[in-house]
Structure 1
Amino acid sequence: MSQPIKPLGLGFGLLGTSNVAPISDAQAEAMFAAAWAMGLRRFDTAPLYGGGLSEERLGRLLRGVPRGDYLLSSKVGRYRDYAARISNPKANPGDWRDYSRDATLRSVEQSLTRLGTDRLDIAFVHDCDDDPDAALDGALPALAELKAQGVVGALGVGSNFAATHLALLREAELDVLMVAGRFTLLDQSAAPDLFPLCRQRGTQVELASPFNSGILATGPDDPATRFDYQPPDAATRAKVHAIQKACAAHDVTLKRAALHYSAAHPAVTRLVLGLTAPAGLRSNLADLSAPVPAALWPALASLGIPAPTEQP
């Protein structure tokens, strides 16, 4: 298999979700072993995922693996109780946010303990969309202290909103952004202002959720599919049907087109995919390693989707 067009990372939120029966340790071990065998070495987690359960389980998977052989990130600022049941992935009852200096230092210390490591390669401020000033005043200066001490390698922000990234990047020195779902076949909101500023500043972009929570992988007809964590409305399903039809006319699956689109923008450094069964991961890698015809982008432009390589 040829190499994917951009480096890949793997998010371990699935190790902490508890709105469905959590995957077993045996399944997690098989998924991790397959990912490692396929060459993935960039892993992401957060205290939010299972209230620390994801970090704890990822730490067990990494036990015995040389620390210099992989890149590891976690996050600060958004939290939930350990193994809390999830009824609303966007705003679960009982979740809380704290972007203060003390909470940030305490959070990183707890993450390191759960992960069984002495450092994070990247620490992201997590979803500070409603209070970016708190992150600027508290969390980011605290992480900068830890970076100076060698406990954190790079500072970043993770959010589902391009406006959050843009506001913080204009005010702070950030090494990397985890932009979730904001440069996809359905949403290009990161492209006009955020991505040009990232390129100007030399800030890396890790593009997470290229499938917008699933619909760009499953297609619009799967009754269980999601768009940004929620059941898609009729207009979204109709848009995906049109995209799917245009892709089929060029012998490209919707999933392959979605992956290539998110990876193709020159500001995007890496794609971060969700943890999946070995066959699913193999399929994603195959899609990223296979070419798509250049004529696909003009066909999608007729649906209002700008070519991913266009520069404003």
Structure 2
Amino acid sequence: MSSSVKPVGLGFGLLGTTNTAPIPDAQAERMMAAAWELGIRRFDTAPLYGGGLSEERLGRLLRGLPRDEYALSTKVGRYRDYAAAVTNPKDNPGDWRDYSRDATLRSVEASLERLGVDRLDIAFVHDCDTHIGAALKGALPALAELKSQGLVGAIGCGSNVAATHLALLRAAEPDVLMVAGRFTLLDQSAADELFPLCLSRGVEVELAAPFNSGILATGPDDATTRFDYQAPDEATRARVRAIQSVCAAQGIPLKRAALHYSAAHPAVTRLVLGLTDPAGLQSNLADLAAPLPATLWPALAELGIPAPTGES
């Protein structure tokens, strides 16, 4: 069983990560050069990542690259101080949210300056999970204004919560959604309502975090692995161990199965992967290009994991 290889984008959160030392400039330059050489032309960041540090550093990496040849996105609504220390990536002390019109317009202006570009291909409202009303009243209409002015090409939402995307999709007209970690071997919460509605409305889906922060790439027994930004509990480790066992019996690495699963749903138009070293990126692309046995999805269905194509 082979699957059509869907496009891949890269997220540049690691350029702003401040709970560990951010990757050095020379390493970032090697990563970007490898990504460009491998044909990747879709790049994502946010003012949250390092409080603007990721945007600033990504802007330096983009200098000299032909602007019409890549698609660039950033986000609005969720912020932290520049280079602030991170103790909790999900809810870091000192972070703040502002989904108002004025804050959104200021945010995009600042992002354009840090990135060194005159327009964004996509602007996402970032993690408005408990602020949906504010996003619908402030941030999304402001982004629509910028879209009408040509400063933004497409607008949407980026969130780890399927219900957030569903609420915005029912109340507004986004062009694209960045759905993080909600259609994976561990979590299919986007499948029942969100993805069918996206297909019927013609809304693109970029599926980020297919490894659920790492555990579906490293496996369950890596001491440093994460599930949705946190150390996994034993139940999650046991679940991944069972999935890994099925994959091994099928002759498939866990990482390959995870990538194919997230890419296989017809609503998903692109995978967005985290920044990794050139060898890791090549490995991920090779996994996506490799065929799968036709018996893999039925074998995983024995664990209660539905076929990613929506077929029984």
Per the TM alignment, residue 131 of structure 1 is displaced from its structure 2 partner at its CA by: 1.0
- 1:214 maps onto 2:201 in alignment: no
Per the TM alignment, residue 311 of structure 1 is displaced from its structure 2 partner at its CA by: 5.4
| Distance in 1 between residues matched to 2:308 and 2:297, nearest whole Å | 8
Q: Which amino acid aligns with 2:159?
A: S
| Distance in 2 between residues matched to 1:211 and 1:306, nearest whole Å | 17
| Distance in 2 between residues matched to 1:41 and 1:289, nearest whole Å | 18
Contact 2:3 2:291 in 1 (8 A): no
Which secondary structure does the structure 1 equivalent of 2:207 belong to? strand
Q: Which amino acid aligns with 2:220?
A: P
Deviations 1:89-147 (A, max 9, x none): 00001000000000000000000000000000000000000010000000000000000
Contact 2:3 2:260 in 1 (8 A): no
Q: Which amino acid aligns with 2:265?
A: H
| Distance in 2 between residues matched to 1:60 and 1:217, nearest whole Å | 29
Which secondary structure does the structure 2 equivalent of 1:10 belong to? strand
Partner in structure 1 of residue 40 of structure 2: 40
**Equivalence map 1:155-304=2 (5 Å):** 155-304=155-304
Per the TM alignment, residue 294 of structure 1 is displaced from its structure 2 partner at its CA by: 1.5
| Distance in 1 between residues matched to 2:43 and 2:304, nearest whole Å | 34
Q: Which amino acid aligns with 2:193?
A: D
| Distance in 1 between residues matched to 2:22 and 2:105, nearest whole Å | 29
Partner in structure 1 of residue 152 of structure 2: 152
| Distance in 2 between residues matched to 1:3 and 1:154, nearest whole Å | 28
Per the TM alignment, residue 4 of structure 1 is displaced from its structure 2 partner at its CA by: 6.8
Partner in structure 2 of residue 5 of structure 1: 5
Which secondary structure does the structure 2 equivalent of 1:292 belong to? coil
Q: Which amino acid aligns with 2:73?
A: S
Partner in structure 2 of residue 67 of structure 1: 67
| Distance in 2 between residues matched to 1:4 and 1:228, nearest whole Å | 27
Which secondary structure does the structure 2 equivalent of 1:75 belong to? strand
| Distance in 2 between residues matched to 1:308 and 1:3, nearest whole Å | 11
Which secondary structure does the structure 1 equivalent of 2:292 belong to? coil
| Distance in 2 between residues matched to 1:278 and 1:117, nearest whole Å | 26
| Distance in 1 between residues matched to 2:117 and 2:310, nearest whole Å | 41
Per the TM alignment, residue 247 of structure 1 is displaced from its structure 2 partner at its CA by: 0.4
Contact 2:207 2:268 in 1 (8 A): yes
Per the TM alignment, residue 12 of structure 1 is displaced from its structure 2 partner at its CA by: 0.2
Give the length in aligned residue pairs.
311
Provide the identity percentage.
79
Q: Which amino acid aligns with 1:46?
A: A
| Distance in 2 between residues matched to 1:32 and 1:59, nearest whole Å | 12
| Distance in 1 between residues matched to 2:104 and 2:311, nearest whole Å | 37
| Distance in 1 between residues matched to 2:3 and 2:164, nearest whole Å | 32
Partner in structure 2 of residue 92 of structure 1: 92
| Distance in 2 between residues matched to 1:275 and 1:77, nearest whole Å | 23
Root mean square deviation of aligned Cα: 1.2
- Please give the TM-score of this superposition, normalised by the length of structure 1: 0.98
| Distance in 2 between residues matched to 1:292 and 1:156, nearest whole Å | 32
Q: Which amino acid aligns with 2:101?
A: R
**Equivalence map 1:88-127=2 (5 Å):** 88-127=88-127
Partner in structure 2 of residue 306 of structure 1: 306
Greater than 4 Å deviation, 4+ residue runs: none
- 1:17 maps onto 2:17 in alignment: yes
Q: Which amino acid aligns with 2:112?
A: L
Per the TM alignment, residue 66 of structure 1 is displaced from its structure 2 partner at its CA by: 1.1
| Distance in 1 between residues matched to 2:184 and 2:3, nearest whole Å | 21
| Distance in 1 between residues matched to 2:284 and 2:249, nearest whole Å | 21
Per the TM alignment, residue 3 of structure 1 is displaced from its structure 2 partner at its CA by: 10
Q: Which amino acid aligns with 1:80?
A: R
- 1:78 maps onto 2:54 in alignment: no
Which secondary structure does the structure 2 equivalent of 1:179 belong to? strand
| Distance in 1 between residues matched to 2:10 and 2:128, nearest whole Å | 22
Contact 1:4 1:285 in 2 (8 A): no
Contact 1:214 1:226 in 2 (8 A): yes
Unaligned runs of 5+ in 1: none
Contact 1:214 1:225 in 2 (8 A): yes
Contact 1:101 1:138 in 2 (8 A): yes
| Distance in 1 between residues matched to 2:3 and 2:239, nearest whole Å | 31
Which secondary structure does the structure 1 equivalent of 2:19 belong to? coil
Which secondary structure does the structure 1 equivalent of 2:279 belong to? helix
